[in-house]
Amino acid sequence: MSYFDAASSAPLHPVARQALHAALDEGWADPARLYREGRRARLLLDAAREAAAEAIGCRPDELTFTTSGTRAVHTGIAGALAGRHRVGHHLIVSAVEHSSVLHSAESHRRTGGTVSEVPVLRTGAVSPDAYADALRPDTALACLQSANHEVGTRQPVAAVAEACREAGVPLLVDAAQSLAWGPVEGGWSLLTGSAHKWGGPAGVGLLAVRKGVRYAAQGPADERESGRAPGFENIPAVVAAAASLRAVRAEADAESVRLRELTDRIRARVPELVPDVEVVGDPVTRLPHLLTFSCLYVDGETLLHELDREGFSVSSGSSCTSSTLTPSHVLKAMGVLSEGNVRVSLPLGTPAEEVDRFLAVLPRTVAAVREKLGAPATGAVAVSPTGAPDALVVDALGKRCPIPVIELAKVITQVPLGGTVRVLSDDEAARLDIPAWCEMRGQEYAGEEPAPRGTAYLVRRVTL
């Protein structure tokens, strides 16, 4: 089985396993106690904090261990907003932040705060100027990920941090996806991470708060972890997290080059091997191990199941794989195709032979899924019949992705050049995928109109 979903959770690093086993015997006591076992536990905890702080680029006394990366985000945002409540209640996030950040933003909005979402370019990156324009006199906190968890695009953290510094606003950086590859550049104020993203054990998060940042811990007070993370420290897991972070950093330079070559190979070969594919995200300014592509006329859930049967574990941001049946907020913000979305994120040590096997399996797997769905043949040039109507209506109400787009593709050649197809759909993904299809197929998207049920999407035929 080839595990290609390291962005969700990386396999436990061998160093993490060794450190965990050793710390289970040495780090079980209460580190707040003064007897021998407590002192031994405290030494382990302090050493882990120093190692993790060095990797992050902060002081040990600025670093708190939490019970998860999500908890680190929630704690960091809540504490920073509370610490600056006299300045105002305005929070800035990007449109492609991790759900933990967006959930915190929604909670802040429900309690009376205001939130601004900075849009992103089609690559998934924010514009530093757009971010700077969102800053206001009442802005209490700004948040920006270091790299996107779905498409791998790196964000201009240093430039945004400088704009925030000039405005006197602290910047919280969610660095969960990038910490394995190096420290975050720029003058950030708060930073969060998650150990299972770099091969550490699950259940360990990091929250760094720079000295001088106004911060007020929320919730009942606790004497542990500077009052920012209540509860007894899981010292064995913390030790394993710090040890694995140091270990992956030692491999990072060499593995970054090697894995980027492999992901570049996938980025180049997939569009050559599979018709009607859009590779999304920044092709250069991105994480070395992660890439995402979307396939027209493909049910994302079915494609993932079929790839699993072939021995590949990948993930997707497609609406077809979501319990809410809505497209990924990241793909939606980027304005790219969400159908048949596949995210490939290679763990450290992935052999090149596994990537070659993936490239051999993918074309026939996509073709089989398309055939099952009755997708139109690709590459054929069709001419509209004589006397064809100038307009057609496709009723795709009640049908989920990618059926509305498949039905559109089947009938577009039945109208003459300049003719229109009106697609009726109540699937939220259609708002994203029909314009994306038009761009990929050279047709004109003419906008949307309200309909008695759902929405009508207008497509004008401008090419054969």
What is the rounded distance in angstroms from the CA atom of residue 9 to the CA atom of residue 198?
8
The residues, any chain, with a CB within 8 Å of residue 222's CB and separated by 6 or more, are 229, 230, 231
Cis peptide before 402 (omega within 30 of 0): yes
Cβ neighbour number for residue 74 with a 10 Å cutoff: 21
- Structure token digits, residue 57: 């680029």
- 369 - beta bridge partners? none
* 438 carries an active-site annotation: no
Catalytic residue among 58, 143, 295, 320: 320
Q: Nearest Cα to 190, choosing from 313, 64, 290, 100?
A: 64
Buried b (16+ CB within 10 A) or exposed e, 328-338: bbbbbbbebbb
What is the rounded distance in angstroms from the CA atom of residue 62 to the CA atom of residue 446?
53
Buried b (16+ CB within 10 A) or exposed e, 204-243: bbbbbbeeebbbebeeeeeebbeebbbeebbbbbbbbbbb
What is the rounded distance in angstroms from the CA atom of residue 36 to the CA atom of residue 50?
21
Catalytic residues, which ones?
Answer: 320
